[in-house]
Amino acid sequence: MENTAESKNFIEQMIDKDLADGRYSGVCTRFPPEPNGYLHIGHAKSILLNAGLAKKYGGKFNLRFDDTNPTKERAEFVESIKEDVKWLGADWEDRLYFASDYFEHMYEAAMSLIKKGKAYVSDLSAEEIRQYRGTLTEPGKDDPSCGRSIEENVRLFEEMKEGKFQDGEKVLRARIDMASPNINMRDPVIYRVAHMEHHNTKDQWCIYPMYDFAHPIEDAVEGITHSICTLEFEDHRPLYDWVVREVGYEHPPRQIEFAKLYLTNVVTGKRYIKRLVEEGIVDGWDDPRLVSIAALRRRGFTPESIQKFVELCGISKSNSSVDYAMLEYCIREDLKLKKSRVMAVLDPIKVIIDNYPEGQTEELTVINNMERPELGTHTVPFGRELYIDRDDFMEVPPRKYFRMFPGNEVRLMQAYFVTCNSFVKDENGRVTEIHCTYDPASKGGSSPDGRKVKGTIHWVPAFCARQAEVRLYENIVDEELGVYNEDGSLNLNPNSLTVLKNCYVEPFAADAKAYDSFQFVRQGYFCVDAKDSTEDRLVFNRIVSLKSSYTLPGKN
């Protein structure tokens, strides 16, 4: 055995074997989304796996829209899917395909099966076909139409194509084995009548191929070698192999199944997300609380963080669920080394430094990222009036509270030592203003006489900070109570969105544009919202908080 085999996943090991055996001379993979919704984090796994294998083996990667079912498909989704796949870093170059472009070929393939006696037109209704199919313990019964002559089947299939039949009146079935222990092999329906407009072929067709017939043909036509899909298709593999064999492709593709990616306590099902969107509970498919690719991008996730996440999840044959905290870990690790640290105050109280000369300001220089000095520095203006966060001040501090309270000296981050002398309250007893004095000798945050302070507080200059809206997110469902209620509805978390309207960011972040992100000191990583942020109104999404108790599986 090669000594690298251990680090290869089971799919790579199968590919290695196929190449060694000469079954294939190269590798071609594909991502075959159905354009009936937005892509989510699970699809990202499939995209990166397929594109990654093509890259690793110097092969090709196709993006193919599996648009064979006109009922649910829309052109809008084609565009969003292309954008998401590209953003994730999977490059299909000029290899963009639509299954609907193969309708003619699929029709011919079905006709060739009829001519070999391997397919027949059936008069049974969908319900009757279900009844005739049998169960896991009982074999199915032959379709009364299965004895039709080839000539009659050819004529009826042509008539299906010509529109002579209503939806459901006739179907084409593959003739395989009604007694097969695998129900998928009991004369599956391969074509149906559907008088429906298709987003691509419009009204050219009124018959459409079924997934299990269309998919292997799409793969074969494109010269796909390894057709990677999720575990629920394992039982369909014999049918996949039957189709490519009976239609007679010279280099039939091989189907390989792997386990879907599931996130614990996270809603990924299209059905649920659609309802959240339609009921206005979320702000569209890209609401930052969702895990569609568009939502993750809007929230401020990077392609690199998702690539890392997918890599850490690994490829497996058994279903399991990954904690959302692992995704958070990945984005934190990625942003940590890329983003500038700035000061932002989410719930401001004004601080006035009484002994700082009125009208005077100065520029303090701060390092953008402590771990990456090459990211440079920026300046932050300092002056007499500042804002600090409300929870950095207490009128009557509990024990071990080291931040600002009357009589206590603290460090204003990167700036000076200040001591709180007094404060002002409004008629509701809410603190509105804090008065301090500063020690001019403590510039830069240390005192020449070696005086120590225990608390360091972030701040922004009140005279030039930019006001911003900040959105904090929690899981959209209540994890404690369980994701689903007994009636199958979602158990929503009422605190999944908190909007803070009166936040302030230092000038360095004031002109941030869509998707720009920063570390806000002590608060987390934040990204400019691409949908709602404008020149007049700056809106940030919290991507992730700074710390977590999460440790990678297998590490401690």
Residues of this chain that interact with Mg ion (CB under 5 A) are 34
Spatial contact of 437 and 353, defined as CB atoms under 8 Å apart: yes
Q: Check residue 64 for interaction with ligand ATP (CB under 6 A).
A: no
Residue whose CB is less far from ligand ATP, 324 or 401: 324
Q: Give the whole-angstrom CA distance, residue 479 versus residue 492.
A: 9
Q: Which one of 9, 230, 419, 545 is in contact with ligand ATP (CB under 6 A)? A: 230
Per CB under 6 A, the segment of 43-51, 218-226, 241-249, 528-536 that binds ligand ATP is: 43-51
Q: Give the whole-angstrom CA distance, residue 321 versus residue 326.
A: 11
Q: Check residue 99 for interaction with ligand ATP (CB under 6 A).
A: no
Q: Give the whole-angstrom CA distance, residue 232 versus residue 239.
A: 13
Q: What string marks each residue from 172 to 211 as x (binds ligand ATP by CB under 6 A) or -?
A: ----------------------------------------
Q: Check residue 34 for interaction with ligand ATP (CB under 6 A).
A: yes
State the binding partner of 46 from ligand ATP, Mg ion, none, CB within 5 to 8 A by kind.
ligand ATP
Question: 432: which DSSP letter?
Answer: E
Q: Check residue 42 for interaction with ligand ATP (CB under 6 A).
A: yes
Q: What string marks each residue from 246 to 285 as x (binds ligand ATP by CB under 6 A) or -?
A: --------------xx------x-x---------------
State the binding partner of 114 from Mg ion, ligand ATP, none, CB within 5 to 8 A by kind.
none
Q: Give the whole-angstrom CA distance, residue 6 versus residue 2.
A: 8
Q: Check residue 229 for interaction with ligand ATP (CB under 6 A).
A: yes
Kindly state the smallest distance separating residue 394's Cβ from Mg ion, in Å. 55
Place of tokens 């953008």: 368
State the binding partner of 45 from Mg ion, ligand ATP, none, CB within 5 to 8 A by kind.
ligand ATP
List, in order, residues 6 or more apart from 121 with CB less than 8 Å away: 145, 148, 152, 153, 156, 157, 160, 170, 171, 172, 173
List, in order, residues 6 or more apart from 149 with CB less than 8 Å away: none
Spatial contact of 255 and 240, defined as CB atoms under 8 Å apart: yes
State the binding partner of 380 from ligand ATP, Mg ion, none, CB within 5 to 8 A by kind.
none
Q: Which one of 28, 43, 153, 191 is in contact with ligand ATP (CB under 6 A)? A: 43
Q: Give the whole-angstrom CA distance, residue 46 versus residue 40.
A: 10
Q: Give the whole-angstrom CA distance, residue 448 versus residue 417.
A: 11
Kindly state the smallest distance separating residue 129's Cβ from ligand ATP, in Å. 23
Edge-first strand listing for the sheet containing 119-122: 119-122, 171-174, 189-193, 207-209
In sequence order, the β-bridge partners of residue 505 are 344, 466
Residue whose CB is less far from Mg ion, 34 or 152: 34
Question: Contact residues for ligand ATP (CB under 6 A)?
Answer: 32-34, 37, 42-43, 45-46, 229-230, 260-261, 268, 270
